[in-house]
Structure formats: C-alpha cells, structure tokens
Amino acid sequence: MENIIFEWDENKNTINKRKHKISFEEAKSVLIFRRINHER
C-alpha cells in the first residue's frame, strides 16, 4: 500500500469538530481502515 498524506486547514477542522463532533484526524483513521480492509 502506498503512503497517503493527509493535509487540512486547522480552522476547518475546528468547525468540523463543533458541527459534526469528529475531527479530521478521526476521519482519517476511518478512511485508512476502510482502505486496508478493501485491499484484502
């Protein structure tokens, strides 16, 4: 699996945490987990 680099704006991250109760860091882990399981 190739390396994936995630970047995000901290201001948008703060807004997302308030609005959706999830940070981009947490969302990133879900995307990585789904990709690993999909490649099996």
Percent of the chain whose pLDDT exceeds 90: 50
pLDDT tens string 4-40: 788 999 999 999 999 999 999 999 888 776 555 556 5
Q: Computed over its alpha carbons, how large is the radius of gyration of the chain?
A: 12
Its pTM stands at 0.62
3-state secondary structure of 38: helix
| pLDDT value of residue 7 | 93
| pLDDT value of residue 1 | 45
Give the span between the Cα atoms of 23 and 31, in whole angstroms: 13
Output the CA torsion 11→34→39→8 (10° steps). Answer: 0
Nearest to 28 by CA among 15, 36, 1, 19: 36
Residue type, 15: I
| pLDDT value of residue 38 | 56
| pLDDT value of residue 4 | 79
Neighbours of 28 (CB within 10 A): 13
Query: What is the domain partition of the chain in residue ranges?
Result: 10-39
